[in-house]
Structure 1
Amino acid sequence: MAMTTDYATAEPPRADIDDLAGPTVVEFGTAWCGYCKAAQPLIAQAFNNHPGVRHLKIEDGSGRPLGRSFRVKLWPTLIFMDSGREVARLVRPRDVTEIRDAFALIDKTLST
């Protein structure tokens, strides 16, 4: 697994995400969002050290039920999950350190 570069326009059902085993980062945003574009190098840098973490990059917007189920209001929003359970959330990250700190909370599943 590696960082996903494109936002998926088809969103999976929430139940499918909740049922995922292991570490997952769900990223909500859009390709045209300036904040999302600015965060991509930071996200990519953090993912370099976490190739075993699943990355779901989902296009969000008005009327998109998956983003609403996660209470997403601003982009990008990164939700760090461990076997379907949210352990950390970052909104508009501006520093790679905060992304790495969130990864640390789900890293434990890779070593077990």
Structure 2
Amino acid sequence: MDRTTDAQRLDASQLGAELGTRATLVQFSTAFCQPCRATRRTLAEVAGMVEGVAHVEIDAEARLALVRTLDIRATPTVLVLDARGTVVRRATGQPRTVDVVAALGRAI
């Protein structure tokens, strides 16, 4: 999880899913993206370990307006949101579990 972003806030209606009570891991994926599968497993595992953290996966091809709004340029892209839905970290590529946990520390 390497890059922070300007304070941008997302809500459940934009994501199509409820936010976590403490933080939300938002993953943008595409159907044929091999690293997206591994990213899905990593984020789901971390969300399962930390109470109040949700994992939301978004099909980038189906949500092009949101992709453009958030300037998503590659998959997988992961956004870490705090409890209010503010983007606190952003990274592209397959994350390591330790990096996701560290990014959550900033969100929580």
TM, length-normalised to structure 1: 0.67
CA RMSD of superposed structures (Å): 2.9
Shift of 1:87: 0.5
- Counterpart position of 1:105: 106
Which blocks of at least 5 consecutive residues in structure 2 are unaligned? 1-12
**1:20 shift after superposition:** 8.6
Residue type matched to 1:23 in 2?
A
Q: Which portions of structure 1, spanning 4 or more consecutive aligned residues, are displaced by more than 4 angstroms?
A: 19-22
- Residue number in structure 2 paired with 1:55: 55
- CA 23–79 in structure 1, closer or farther in 2 if over 3 Å, else same: same
5 Å-filtered alignment, 1:85-104, equals: 85-104=86-105
Give the equivalent residue in structure 2 for 1:42: 42
Q: Higher relative contact order at CA 8 Å, sep ≥6: structure 1 or structure 2?
A: 2
Summarize the Cα distance change of 1:46–1:63 in structure 2 as closer, same or farther, 3 Å threshold. Answer: closer
Match of 1:78 in 2: 78
Which of 1 and 2 has greater Rg?
Answer: 1
**Is the 8 Å Cα contact of residues 21 and 53 (structure 2) preserved in structure 1?**
no
Letter in 1 for 2:43: I
Identity %: 23
Q: Could you tell me how far 1:53 is from its partner in structure 2?
A: 1.3
Aligned equivalents of 2:55, 2:79: Cα separation in 1: 10
List gaps (5 residues or longer) in structure 1.
Answer: 1-11, 108-112
Partner of 1:13, secondary structure, is helix
Compute the TM-score of the two structures, normalised by the length of structure 2.
0.69
Question: Partners of 2:20 and 2:44 in 1: how far apart?
Answer: 22
Superposition deviation, residue 103 in structure 1? 1.2
